[in-house]
Amino acid sequence: MQESQFLAPEIRSELEANEKVLWVGQPNAMSELISTLPILIFAVPWTAISVFFLMCAFTTTKQGQNLWFLSIIGVPFTLLGLLLLSVPFYTYFYTTKTHYLATDRNLYVIQLGKQISVEKYPREDLINLVRTESGGKGTLRWTLQGNSARPSYRKAKQTGEVVFKNIANPRELEHLLRDTAKKGS
């Protein structure tokens, strides 16, 4: 079991009194980055063509008249391209700020940053686990049941599930949670 005093103060302050931390983890940022590769592959030619169009709009003249006004079409496409190019970076930094926590009573999904977001799910409300694993990493996905009117369920209510995404050794965590649930009951 992990001692809660080694946790960042922002995370530690979210725990209930006498709550024992069993496991702390984060999504694998590199895996998340790789999962955005298709977007990047699409974004590079998209942005290149958009920028090429913009350059053509500013440099081409027809019968002595400048065609800069065509950039009105090119600008939104270029902006969208830049937005798509930023997706991998945003995903990477978002992932490095995400923390998963399993205690003897609850599971937490904590998002650190300027605004701290804490989702807290009592373990008895999580059923029917789906585990997807690949090369030692994987995802655990629980269905949420019970009192979904709780404020911290707002995000999970949109999807109906609680996800620990791209964590190391998901099977070990699954076994740990099962063992501790048995002892608890």
Partner 1 sequence: MLPPEAPQHVKDELLQGESITWIGQPSNKLALKITAVVLVAVLLFIIFFLKDFMGFGRGANFSFAFQGIGLVFTAFGMIFCYMLLSAPVRVWLYFKRTYYVVTDKRYIVISGGNKNRKVQQYDKKTVTPLMSASFLGVTNLVWRAPGFYKDSDGDSRQNTLTFAGIEPREVFNITSETFPKLSEAVKTTSPPR
Q: Which residues bind partner 1 (CB under 8 A)?
A: 45, 127-135, 143-145, 158-161, 178
The C-alpha atoms of residue 181 and residue 185 are separated, in whole angstroms, by 6
What is the closest distance, in whole angstroms, from the C-beta atom of residue 160 to partner 1 in the complex?
A: 4
What is the closest distance, in whole angstroms, from the C-beta atom of residue 135 to partner 1 in the complex?
A: 6
The DSSP code sequence of 34-59 is HHTHHHHHHHHHHHHHHHHHHHHHHH
Tokens 């209510």 locate to 157
What is the closest distance, in whole angstroms, from the C-beta atom of residue 182 to partner 1 in the complex?
A: 9
Closest to partner 1 by CB, 131 or 155: 131
Closest to partner 1 by CB, 37 or 116: 37
Closest to 166 in 3D by CA, of 117, 106, 112, 94: 94
Residues with Cβ within 8 Å of 89's Cβ and at least 6 positions away in sequence, in order, are none
Closest to partner 1 by CB, 114 or 183: 183
The C-alpha atoms of residue 127 and residue 165 are separated, in whole angstroms, by 17
Closest to partner 1 by CB, 61 or 158: 158
What is the closest distance, in whole angstroms, from the C-beta atom of residue 124 to partner 1 in the complex?
A: 12
The C-alpha atoms of residue 112 and residue 7 are separated, in whole angstroms, by 13
The C-alpha atoms of residue 117 and residue 115 are separated, in whole angstroms, by 6
Closest to partner 1 by CB, 49 or 70: 49
Tokens 């373990």 locate to 123
What is the closest distance, in whole angstroms, from the C-beta atom of residue 128 to partner 1 in the complex?
A: 5
